[in-house]
């Protein structure tokens, strides 16, 4: 029988950047997270959206990367049985292209796997080539397009999944 987890690479043991700590995201991280969000995303999530997921959404699990007492990245998933939706991943400008995004994604996926996740899905802006490259390098494949998903900026979403069909949406 195949591994219960689907097709994605094993995470490397340690962070590619020294002195990085991975923590469950907490409401008191949100001043920094919302500031980063506004810097890094064309359609930033609001503080209320993060608060809902951190405080009320039982399906949500969020992680923060800290270095020298500052948040330098974060990620989030929603768990639906053995399928998880990657809701966000972000690395601050200073640490882009250092391998941290890949490490954070694989570590997040590994933590999900420990909670029973076998497959992941996500949506990504079709022009976000950095993110698409990251996802492909972690075992995600493009399976479809949702037209005008990011209607605020008139952009389509590429839908990606780990593993093979059948896909659920
Ligand atoms: C997407 C993001 C998390 C990638 O983080 P990162 O730490 O810079 O990525 P890494 O250094 O770990 O690189 C991971 C892979 O993506 C590739 N990559 C990263 N940035 C890239 C870019 N600008 N263009 C092309 N490829 C890129 C790397 O070459 C690497 O590929 P490899 O594993 O084959 O060598 C980061 O760009 C980011 O936070 N962007 C803003 C927020 C965002 O758009 N999040 C995604 C929402 S769907």
* CA–CA distances in Å: residue 57 to residues 54, 61, 131, 165: 7, 9, 25, 28
User: Active site residue: 37, 120, 123, 150, which one?
Assistant: 123
Strand partners, 158: 124, 145
> Is 140 annotated in the active site?
no
Residues 124-169 have pLDDT tens digits of 999 999 999 999 999 999 999 999 999 999 999 999 999 877 776 5
> Is 135 annotated in the active site?
yes
Q: Dihedral sign, CA of 119, 45, 98, 128?
A: positive
Instruction: Please tell me the distance between residue 74's alpha carbon and the centre of ligand 1 in angstroms.
Output: 13
Strand residue runs (E) in 49-117 = 60-67, 70-80, 83-91
Task: Give nearest CA residue, ligand 1 atom 31.
Answer: 134
21-120 maps to CATH 3.40.630.30: yes
The structure's pTM equals: 0.95
Residues 96-127 have pLDDT tens digits of 999 999 999 999 999 999 999 999 999 999 99
Which atom of ligand 1 has the smallest separation from the CA of 101? 7
Alpha carbon distance 151, 167 (integer Å) = 24
Instruction: Please tell me the distance between residue 132's alpha carbon and the centre of ligand 1 in angstroms.
Output: 8
Residues 58-79 have pLDDT tens digits of 999 999 999 999 999 999 999 9
8 A C-beta contact, residue 49 and residue 96: no
Q: Dihedral sign, CA of 18, 130, 133, 145?
A: positive
> What is the residue extent of each domain of the chain?
21-120
């Amino acid at each position: 029988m195949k591994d219960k987890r689907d097709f994605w690479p094993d995470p490397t043991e340690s962070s590619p950047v020294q002195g990085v700590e991975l923590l469950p995201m907490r409401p008191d991280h949100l001043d920094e997270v919302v500031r980063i969000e506004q810097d890094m995303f064309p359609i930033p999530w609001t503080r209320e959206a993060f608060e809902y997921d951190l405080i009320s959404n039982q399906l949500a699990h969020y992680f923060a990367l800290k270095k020298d007492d500052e948040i330098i990245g974060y990620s989030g998933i929603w768990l639906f049985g053995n399928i998880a939706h990657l809701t966000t991943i972000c690395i601050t400008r200073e640490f882009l292209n250092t391998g941290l995004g890949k490490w954070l994604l694989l570590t997040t996926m590994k933590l999900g796997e420990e909670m029973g996740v076998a497959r992941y899905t996500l949506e990504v802006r079709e022009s976000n080539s950095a993110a698409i490259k990251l996802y492909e390098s972690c075992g995600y494949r493009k399976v479809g397009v949702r037209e005008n998903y990011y209607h605020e900026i008139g952009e389509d979403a590429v839908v990606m999944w780990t593993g093979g069909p059948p896909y659920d949406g």
